[in-house]
Amino acid sequence: MENAGELEMKTKVGPLELPAVMDRKLMVGLIAIAVTLCLGCAAQVQTGEPLEDLPTRPLPFKLGFTGGDRNHLPPSLAEALDDSSVLKLSYSEKVTDQNSAVPAVISMIDPLTIVGMPLGSYTVHAQATCSITLKGRVIKNYSAESTVSRSYGLYHGSSFPELERQARQAVEQQIEQDVYRDTDEIALSTKTEH
């Protein structure tokens, strides 16, 4: 029986004790992982100003639509459409997108991918042009551009439709603001033609 007791004593395992040096290395490693996680999540980048929804103000004149895409007209221009107007409007938008990504082979072996570092970025560029004419004579030309870009990672990202909406909204607002700025001049040109 004593042999059994001795055997029991030999198989008992005490608590695992790490030397002080190992504790420090472990703590530094955990801090490094935590910092990397925070940086990975904060690496989302956006160029282009965040947009607020501006109230639509009516224009003091009506516009006949001659060309372009009616579906993407700025709200105030869409509300001012009247095919019988002597003032004519043409409007066009062009949207392009780009996806730049880290090669898959690299992201698979990069340990920072797991902790949230960006894998690439989506970029959407929108351009809009608008012309207001009176009896074939150009009264005003407007153009606007916007680029919206966001990074994405394993745990965060943006969709192309959301970025496209933001880029379109930015150019539409810019065109609308430019037209508002020139409303007196445009309205005066219709009066001098009569």
Flag whether 69 is in a domain. yes
Residue 194 has pLDDT above 80, yes or no: no
The whole-number pLDDT of residue 46 equals: 40
Give the tens place of pLDDT for each residue, 4-50.
Answer: 545 454 545 455 555 555 566 666 666 656 555 554 443 333 434 44
Give the tens place of pLDDT for each residue, 81-103.
Answer: 999 999 999 999 999 998 887 77
The whole-number pLDDT of residue 103 equals: 74
Rounded average pLDDT over 169-191: 90
Residue 184 belongs to domain with CATH number = 3.30.160
Rounded average pLDDT over 95-124: 78
Flag whether 110 is in a domain. yes
The whole-number pLDDT of residue 42 equals: 36
Flag whether 50 is in a domain. no
Tell me how far apart the alpha carbons of residues 52 and 173 are, in angstroms, rounded to a whole number.
Answer: 10
Flag whether 11 is in a domain. no
Flag whether 180 is in a domain. yes
Flag whether 31 is in a domain. no
Structure-model confidence comparison of residues 110 and 14, the more confident one: 110
Tell me how far apart the alpha carbons of residues 145 and 128 are, in angstroms, rounded to a whole number.
Answer: 7
Flag whether 78 is in a domain. yes
The whole-number pLDDT of residue 14 equals: 52
Determine the structural domain holding residue 94 and report its residue range.
64-193
Tell me how far apart the alpha carbons of residues 106 and 117 are, in angstroms, rounded to a whole number.
Answer: 12
Residue 193 and residue 135 in contact, taking contact as beta carbons nearer than 8 Å: yes
Structure-model confidence comparison of residues 188 and 28, the more confident one: 188
Confidence of residue 189 (pLDDT cuts 50, 70, 90): confident
Rounded average pLDDT over 63-78: 90
- The domain total for the chain is 1
Flag whether 111 is in a domain. yes
Give the tens place of pLDDT for each residue, 124-179.
Answer: 999 999 999 998 899 999 999 999 988 887 776 767 888 999 999 999 999 999 99
